[in-house]
Chain A
């Protein structure tokens, strides 16, 4: 598992680079270079593993399959794209640029652990490696009170959900006597002890916290709104997608056989997530806050992949993770260029900067799930998985209805840009490099929509 080691070492290197290199710009370039290296290591891992081959590492603590490696590679690619797009904004957050990138490297280490864990110990450590740097990143804008508040809130909620996760793990251990997730597959419906059921429920609640599913979503809008925008973009995309893969790995692989016991609870959580995310997003005035609620709504769709427990669901998860990450990173990159984060701040952007407005439109269409964009294919695959499974048709219909609602608030931004009079002010000049990178992001969104098999046939 070279990628985990590489991510850790590169993180440490970046940390020390911050001590010796004072120039912010060169630190950022070094970070981007090291992320390239990390992507290379991931690809190396990928090509040296034969298809259908499953490797075990560290006394069977990690079980690495092709899917996990491909997911890691794609997430690292998304992180690289993210770093390229927002490295200028990260330099503006504060003076500790090297540390910010080092923390991002450590988060990636957590991502790799979460996609390959075979033991709940690694799941726990992975979730913590994923979360603790985020608490720091959320509070990294020390001049801003909102950022500190977001950090404290995120920290308290995160620590609380960690306690619940651990209680779930312990109860499950008490019922089965093992931490190995493969051995949990021997759990059977007709002989489930109350302790095992309680453990599964605790785990579900803890994961719902981490992926911000409905009754446990209260922290999300405040944290995403308060945290510095570049880090919100990271938290809402790559981190959330990998928490979902961890969720799915546990519930599809380990508890797949007893899905009838937990499915109804998760279905209700899904319905509530879709409802709360979409309906509340409609009433927001700030685009950043709207994106926070929209991330809750998108989490509702990703929950379908966990619910469906079949092969299509895994494919759906992969394409959803990538399509959602790319579009959201693009949207946040545009948002960071704006001076005013409210809808009115976008008024008349199409006249002022037609290119930027066109890019934004593509990202928003993808998030809304309009055909020919990645978002459509993502929604199509996860809902297809749920239809194939066939037990949750009412939920699929509800989700389609909610997708229609979501179009309203995404299109509101497009309306503001094209049909409203106003003078959208930009925070910074959009350089040619930015335009180029945004164009690549748009291209990725469209390619994902036109040919999703590119990332599904691996």
Chain B
């Protein structure tokens, strides 16, 4: 383990070694799991399985149909919650320097966040059934 830390401290091409190892492990894991499921899983080709898969909905008609307002609402809420995560980047970079105070500040941020989420859930914005 020590040689990895040492490598990371040097400003040479060698210091990218941990990144390369990480990359190899990542690719290896994906290849392994996909290959294993291909290899181990049963293969039965039926007519249903060979048609285009569109989220379990039979594929009919044009794609440019008016969307239900529900999709739209969920999309808006997603954008909102997705972008708020941006504040975790500066916190992650300064995690150690900010210490306890920073931690509580982030907890407070997440709490406000969560209260917003609870609010929209309670309000029924995410209910799919009418």
Contacts and interface: CB of A to CB of B under 8 A. Distances in A.
Interface of A: 8, 12, 15-16, 19
Contacts, number: 11
Interface in B102-125: 112, 115, 119, 122-123
Chain A binding surface, main DSSP class: helix
Contacts of A15: 115, 119
A8 B112 CA distance: 10
A386 to B, nearest CB: 44
A19 B124 CA distance: 10
A12 B122 contact: no
Interface string B23-67: 000000000000000000000000000000000000000000000
Interface of B: 112, 115, 119, 122-123
A19 B112 contact: no
B15 to A, nearest CB: 33
A12 B114 CA distance: 11
A252 B123 CA distance: 45
A4 to B, nearest CB: 13
A12 B112 contact: yes
Nearest to A9: B112
A16 B123 CA distance: 10
Nearest to A20: B122
A265 to B, nearest CB: 36
9 nearest CB pairs, A to B? A19-B122, A12-B115, A15-B119, A16-B119, A19-B123, A19-B119, A12-B112, A16-B115, A8-B112
11 contacts: A8-B112, A12-B112, A12-B115, A15-B115, A15-B119, A16-B115, A16-B119, A16-B122, A19-B119, A19-B122, A19-B123
B114 to A, nearest CB: 11
B127 to A, nearest CB: 14
A140 to B, nearest CB: 16
